[in-house]
Structures are given as structure tokens and as C-alpha cells.
Amino acid sequence: MDKLITQAETIIKNHQLRLTKQRRSLIDLLVHQPDHYLDITMVDRLMRDMYPGISHNTIYRNLEEFEEIGLVEITQRSNCKAVKFSCEDGAHQHHHHFICQKCGRVQEIQMPKWPTNFYEQQLPGVQITGHSFELYGLCAQCAKEAGSK
């Protein structure tokens, strides 16, 4: 954990962002759940419990800045946005995830490069700027537990 926090602090400084105590707390909160997405509303509530004067805008702006520099990944869930500490180490390498529907564990998966021209041919006139791909199911541990019942 300490290594991840140190890496995050270095990335923040390298991008000329101030390393405030609120940003340190935000990183600490996310680093302790490295393989789970956290609802942004929960992160907001936890941060506001620690820092009653901090605004929602400040928390969300910091998360957006962290996403821009590769520290966190933000995804849209069916009813809210969620965030997790990035498994990219700030490298901005595109990747995909398997997400356990029981325990919420997130695992990175490798996929071949998407042939965007294949999709653009199916959608004349569009310009594809990105995509999102996630697999859902039971992780090995949850599948094992489900099989033993």
C-alpha cells in the first residue's frame, strides 16, 4: 500500500498538482480498495466525514483530475458513477475489466486491439472516439463458494 501511495504522490507532483491533505486522504481511501470500484457518492460521503468543509465540487474535480493523470478509473454503473484506484500506475494504458457480481472484485483482462474501422463501416458517418468493455460474472472465489453450497 505504501508503495502505491508513494507512486500516486509522485504522479500528482509530476503533473504540477498540489499534494494537499485532502488529496492524500482521497488517494489513501482508494488505495485501500485497489480491486473494487467504489460508488463516487460513497467516496464523497467519506471525504466529507473527514473534511466537513470540503465541497462536493472539490471532491469530484479531484477525481476528474486524478482520472486525467491516470491515477483512477471512473466508470458509469447503471445507477451511479464509480471509481477505483488505477491498475495503470499512471501509464494511461487502455484495458478492460472482469467484475464479480457477488463481491465486486475487479480484475484486469487483456484484449486484442479493437478494429474501430470494422465498427465505423457498420455505422457510416460516425467517428468512434472510444469504447468501454466489461465482463460480469462470479470471480473464482465466489464461483467456488457457490459450487460448494
Neighbouring CB atoms inside 10 A of 47's CB total: 20
Is 95 assigned to a binding site? no
131 among the known binding-site residues?
yes
87 assigned to a ligand binding site: no
80 is in an annotated binding site: no
* Residue 94 marked ligand-binding: yes
Reduced 3-state DSSP string for the chain: CHHHHHHHHHHHHHCCCCCCHHHHHHHHHHHCCCCECEEHHHHHHHHHHHCCCCCHHHHHHHHHHHHHCCCEEEEECCCCEEEEECCCCCCCCCCEEEEECCCCEEEEECCCCCCHHHHHHHCCCCCCCCCCCEEEECCHHHHHHHHCC
Find out whether 142 is annotated in a ligand binding site.
Answer: yes
Binding-site residues: 94, 100, 103, 131, 139, 142
Binding-site residues for Fe cation: 94, 131
Binding-site residues for Zn(2+): 100, 103, 139, 142
